[in-house]
A and B are shown apart, each in its own frame.
Chain A
Amino acid sequence: MILRGIAAEFAKSRIALAGLALIALILFVALFAPLISPQNPYDLAQLDLLDSRLPPGSHSTAGGTFWLGTDDQGRDMLSAIFYGLRTSLAVGVASTVFALAIGVSLGLAAAWFGGWVDALIARLADLQLSFPSILIALVLLAVLGQGIEKIIVALVAVQWAYYARTARAAALVERRKEYIEAATALALSNTRILFRHLLPNCLPPIIVIAAVQIAAAITLEATLSFLGLGLPVTEPSLGLLISNGFTYLLSGHYWISVFPGIALLLAVVSINLVADQLRDVLDPQGRR
């Protein structure tokens, strides 16, 4: 019933609904990329160098149409974007899930146990949040090197603090309430109180932060890959596609960079629109 109320409230904004529809479409494309792409952009047997750097709408030597043109290796940009979206979303979602789990657990623990645990976690989070995320991620990747699991580690390291701070603030308010007192009086275990009683009541602001942070994670990954520090060339995300096209931008082959950029933009904007409305519905005080 609560969920239905939230859904009704959410649906009041048409632009947020449009964002949600766009997210569904993007997810569909990312999940089924191998089935709906005109070609497999990483199967070298399907590429023909004669097709390289063709403008959008050109016909391939094999007879198909490149709706969004081709890159320097004769790769269909539309297919490359579908696969790139898949990688970008996977990295964004995976890092958000890990950062959420780690950050929320630490934030709840800080609020619940207090004392030195709280001081340590809160100070660490504050310290980290005082540095720009891109700087921390750059240095971490310089140390770790390239790779999909390494960029996820870097993104989690950058993002856990946002969840820890949000969860801690919510839990500090909730723990003074009577239902927690009742649970303590029943001598329930700490774990059970934290995750069965405290956590569900702290969720609304955490969900809002998670929605914002998925978009931030996708953007940060794209930026790092663009700078050549993120994903290896074998697993190109949208950032790497854009970076690859940068070389050809100056000679007028705009489509190699522009279309992956638009795909990235659509993904990030649609998530932000939904996050904005979620904030209005779930966490009206948290509005900035």
Chain B
Amino acid sequence: MFAYIVRRLLQSTVVLAVMSLAVFAGVYAIGNPVDILINPQAGQQEIARATAALGLDKPLAEQYFVFLRHAAAGDLGNSFAFNVPAIGLILERMPATLELATAAMLIAMILGIPLGLWAGLKPGSAAGKSIMAGSILGFSLPTFWVGLMLIMVFSVYFGWLPSAGRGPTANFLGMQLSFLSLEGWRHLILPAANLALFNLSLIVRLARAGTREAMRQDYVRFARAKGLTEIHVVGVHVLKNVLIPIVTVMGLEFGSVIAFAVVTESIFAWPGMGKLLLDSINLLDRPVIVAYLCIVVTLFVLINFAVDVICSWLDPRMRLVDSQA
């Protein structure tokens, strides 16, 4: 177990290093941020001075080396556009994205598990079939278009919910969060529902397949033979076994949800780190792009690792060993 963790962490470090080099070289090969940042009427001298000030006159290898040395000390460079530390900009936006992603996951699970159970218990019924048809639609609908339709129906047509922004936030454990006030909830619900759609469909499918599988097992027959109520059989014995794959997949999907938040945040003008990434790409704000990727990749590595550990704890049949596939 210990050797496994050490090896995993080493692998992750290598992944991070390779990724940072690739991103650094790629991002630094494009465009000249100086062109965008300074007044177009500026003279040659001024351009040269700005280039030197940003450290862009040095060779690429040296720039990368400087970047690595600073990164080791937790400094991923200053944003060209805002002239503040890039990592600070991202960490400042991170709570908004995490709040959105968590809300989306909760919606997906709270709706998805019961719907999937129902479809699994009654696969031939009209309800079961409609749930499955709905999940195919949920997979096929492009996220960004669903977001537009939600805005059109709930904000423009009915005028019930706001279409943009986070609303008032309140301080909670040092983070600015929306879910503490009613107005914050009204801002959160549409983007969260939009982001939840894909995973809701995924959970419905997983829960349905898991339920159908579990209902055929001996332990279900035995529990029934013992005279347990159907609610007890489904709610305890079936549900427990259905949950294991769902926890695994949802843990891994959390990373995708954060990535796909880029789309949802841009539609609903949600001030999270995904929107920051898009703005930075448009401004060629290299340090922020590189810092975003470093942080997100670290997050992914940590999530994958946590999922492995949680699964081996939930299901002792899954051992923590290297799979030599």
Residues of A with Cβ closer than 8 Å to B? 122, 127, 130-132, 134-135, 138-140, 142-145, 215, 219, 222-223, 226-229, 239, 242, 246, 249-250, 252, 254, 257-258, 261, 264-265, 268-269, 272-273, 276, 288
**Could you say which residues of chain B place their CB within 8 Å of the CB of A254?**
152, 156
| Contacting pair A138 B281 (CB below 8 A) | yes
Q: How many B residues touch the partner, as a band?
A: 35 or more
Tell me the nearest residue of chain A to B301, going by C-beta.
Answer: A130
Tell me the nearest residue of chain B to A260, going by C-beta.
Answer: B145
Tell me the nearest residue of chain B to A223, going by C-beta.
Answer: B144
**Could you say which residues of chain A place their CB within 8 Å of the CB of B151?**
249-250
- Output the residue of B139, B155, B282 with the most chain A CB within 10 A: B139
Interface hit among B32-40, B105-113, B115-123, B253-261? B253-261
Given A227-B262, A257-B148, the answer on whether A265 and B156 have CB atoms closer than 8 Å is no
| Contacting pair A252 B156 (CB below 8 A) | yes
CA distance A219 to B243 in the complex (A): 30
What is the CB-to-nearest-CB distance from B156 to chain A, in angstroms, rounded to a whole number?
A: 6
**Could you say which residues of chain A place their CB within 8 Å of the CB of B140?**
215, 265, 268-269, 272
**Could you say which residues of chain B place their CB within 8 Å of the CB of A227?**
144, 262-263, 266, 278
23 sampled A-B residue pairs with Cβ under 8 A: A122-B325, A130-B300, A130-B304, A132-B259, A134-B259, A134-B260, A134-B262, A134-B263, A139-B26, A145-B30, A222-B142, A226-B263, A228-B278, A239-B144, A242-B144, A242-B145, A249-B148, A250-B163, A254-B156, A261-B142, A264-B142, A272-B139, A288-B205
**Could you say which residues of chain B place their CB within 8 Å of the CB of A138?**
262, 277, 281
What is the CB-to-nearest-CB distance from B167 to chain A, in angstroms, rounded to a whole number?
A: 18
Given A130-B300, A143-B29, A269-B137, the answer on whether A223 and B142 have CB atoms closer than 8 Å is yes
Q: Is the interface of B mostly helix, strand, loop or mixed?
A: helix
| Contacting pair B263 A223 (CB below 8 A) | yes
| Contacting pair A246 B148 (CB below 8 A) | yes
Tell me the nearest residue of chain B to A246, going by C-beta.
Answer: B148
What is the CB-to-nearest-CB distance from A115 to chain B, in angstroms, rounded to a whole number?
A: 13
**Could you say which residues of chain A place their CB within 8 Å of the CB of B259?**
131-132, 134-135
Interface of chain B residues 270 through 291 with chain A (CB within 8 A): 277-278, 281-282, 289
**Could you say which residues of chain B place their CB within 8 Å of the CB of A130?**
300, 304
- Output the residue of B27, B144, B205, B297 with the most chain A CB within 10 A: B144
| Contacting pair B156 A261 (CB below 8 A) | no
Tell me the nearest residue of chain B to A267, going by C-beta.
Answer: B140
CA distance A219 to B263 in the complex (A): 12
CA distance A215 to B139 in the complex (A): 10
**B293 close to A (CB within 8 Å):** yes
| Contacting pair A139 B289 (CB below 8 A) | yes
Given A273-B136, A288-B205, the answer on whether A142 and B262 have CB atoms closer than 8 Å is no
The answer, among A122, A132, A215, for a CB contact under 8 Å with B255, is: A132
**B248 close to A (CB within 8 Å):** no
| Contacting pair A249 B136 (CB below 8 A) | no
**B209 close to A (CB within 8 Å):** yes
What is the CB-to-nearest-CB distance from B255 to chain A, in angstroms, rounded to a whole number?
A: 6
**B23 close to A (CB within 8 Å):** yes
**B15 close to A (CB within 8 Å):** yes
**Could you say which residues of chain A place their CB within 8 Å of the CB of B170?**
none
The answer, among A132, A139, A265, A268, for a CB contact under 8 Å with B293, is: A139
The answer, among A131, A252, A268, for a CB contact under 8 Å with B142, is: A268
| Contacting pair A261 B149 (CB below 8 A) | yes
| Contacting pair B325 A139 (CB below 8 A) | no
**Could you say which residues of chain A place their CB within 8 Å of the CB of B149?**
258, 261
